[in-house]
Structure 1
Amino acid sequence: MNMRTVLAFSSATALTLALTACGTDDADPAVAGDLGLVSDGTLTVCSDVPYPPFEDFDDSTESGYTGFDIDIVSAVAEGLELELEVKDSSFDALQSGLALNADQCDLVASAMTINEDRKQNLDFSDGYYDSKQSLLVAEGSDIASIDDLDGKKVGVQQGTTGKAYAEENATGAELITFPSDAEMYQAMQAAQVDALLQDLPVNLEHTRDGGYTIVEEYETDEQYGFAVKKGNTALVEAVNEQLTALRDGGEYDTLYDTYFSED
């Protein structure tokens, strides 16, 4: 299955002199107040973990986490000459803006789709990943499409675009809402739900060991972005500049292939 999509980052707005003059002694991008950081010298990131391949626990890494999102924000932090701290948080608190408004973190990296509802409470970076929705069922299931979900129990995650898609399109299905993918997949394994409707890359992870298959994919024009507190334009611009640099330098493609290679 070819998941590779061509991602285009928009040109970042020019940063102020204090942010761009990284090579001079009198200009430090991590100076308190420049980026509105909750902790001087550190980019504090909130994420709903686990949600592989985007974020997962990994005690062998310096941050204690791994995944595509984690690698991207780690590179962003390095480019801004900041340390990286990652905190686990519920997705609902992230997509609502509660975690950012409570100064729990500076940035949300959690496979979050950019949409108009969320823009009311959050500001977003440029998009960094194009995604689809998908329907996961057990091998041998009589469910072949979303049209077969009438009377079936379908697992969805609270606050996600997957749940919204199921509400609009899974006619007759009983939607069972879970706080995270981990609980959803456990329910699937225990035969408490008949299907999972969520982001394609995450459902793909559940097919790797056999026993489950994806029967449909749904084009929804979704693009993930990193979220920051409403009004923190400086941090948005700084992150966008780093995303552009990662793409132009080829590092983005290397990270992408690590997690989404067709091989």
Structure 2
Amino acid sequence: MRTRIALVLLALFLMASNALAKDVVFAVDATYPPMEMIDADKNIVGFGPEVVMAMGKAGGFNPILKNTAWDGIFAGLASGKYDAIASSVSITEERKQSMDFSDPYFEVKQGVIVPKGAAISSVADLAGKTVASQMGTTGYFVCKKIEGATAKSYDEIGLAVEDLYNGRIDAVIADDAVASNYALQHEQYSQKLTLAFLIAPEAPEYLGFAVNKGNKETVELINSALAAIKANGEYDKIYAKWFGPK
């Protein structure tokens, strides 16, 4: 009897703890596979969302994922529509002027997708070409720096890849995990496209969770939870699921 009562009390305690857990709303532009995307059941999935959900479990908070278009995602953060952005946001000095970041959770390089057989194997080969990426991303910033190339921006990276597939542009630049997904793993695009090369970065590029400037409470909550899933091995399990063992 005492054992049964103890189990009931434990269950009630856990239910109460879950009910009192802090909601943390994360904006996600779910158009960036395999990092963030929508599955067949209309759920937000991917490496990033799975990391966030694991962080919530480890950190004792309730993550709420809110699908948000990239073109308004930073303005929404500034206006308080959500607590953080979990959408493959690269930590840059410029962005740190207007927002704060968690500790890094993923390292990226910029990958260049081209049609199979194209004579493009280096940045120099992109001179005279139309090179595209998603607007406001570090991939697009790279496009604009390529000497002699015409930079073109798209609302979503998938739209750029579609135009590349149909011969309307010459190359697409995106985070390497995303570029690899479209060029090497996508059933349709991989038939005509390939990942030509990775661009050597001037400095390491890391993704972080963005929060409003001065929101130390949320940064500390996220950092603590991120550290916990790295320590208990959950982060490595999620990484291996999406990208293979490190």
TM-score class normalised by the smaller sequence: 0.7 to 0.9
Alpha-carbon distance in 2 for matches of 1:225, 1:232: 15
Equivalent residues in 2 for 1:157-196, closer than 5 Å: 157-168=134-145, 170-196=146-172
Q: Give the CA deviation at 1:58.
A: 2.0
| Structure 2 residue 125 is matched with structure 1 residue 148 | yes
Aligned partners of 1:188 and 1:194 also within 8 Å = yes
| Structure 2 residue 48 is matched with structure 1 residue 69 | yes
Question: Which of 19, 23, 42 does residue 23 from structure 2 map onto?
Answer: 42
Structure 1 or 2: larger helix share?
A: 2
TM-superposition CA deviations, 1:186-208 (whole Å, max 9, x none) = 11122111110121110001121
Unaligned runs of 5+ in 1: 1-23, 32-39
Unaligned runs of 5+ in 2: 1-12
Q: Give the CA deviation at 1:159.
A: 0.7
TM-superposition CA deviations, 1:124-157 (whole Å, max 9, x none) = 0000001101111011112222211122111111
| Structure 2 residue 205 is matched with structure 1 residue 222 | yes
Equivalent residues in 2 for 1:1-263, closer than 5 Å: 41-60=22-41, 64-94=43-73, 97-168=74-145, 170-206=146-182, 207-208=184-185, 209=187, 210=190, 211-220=192-201, 221-261=204-244
Aligned partners of 1:30 and 1:82 also within 8 Å = no
Aligned partners of 1:157 and 1:184 also within 8 Å = yes
Alpha-carbon distance in 1 for matches of 2:216, 2:46: 26
Aligned partners of 2:132 and 2:143 also within 8 Å = no
What's the counterpart of residue 13 of structure 1?
none
Aligned partners of 1:150 and 1:172 also within 8 Å = yes
Decide which moves more: 110-119 or 211-220.
211-220
Residue type at the aligned position of 1:244:
A
Alpha-carbon distance in 2 for matches of 1:121, 1:228: 9
Residue type at the aligned position of 1:84:
P
Give the TM-score normalised by the residue count of structure 2. Answer: 0.84
Aligned partners of 1:30 and 1:80 also within 8 Å = no
Query: Which of the pair has more CA radius of gyration?
Result: 2
Aligned partners of 1:59 and 1:65 also within 8 Å = no
Distance 1:30 1:98, change over 3 A: farther
Aligned partners of 2:165 and 2:193 also within 8 Å = no
Distance 1:262 1:75, change over 3 A: closer
Q: Give the CA deviation at 1:85.
A: 2.1
Q: How many residues are treated as equivalent by the alignment?
A: 226
Alpha-carbon distance in 2 for matches of 1:236, 1:218: 31
SS in 1 for 2:53: helix
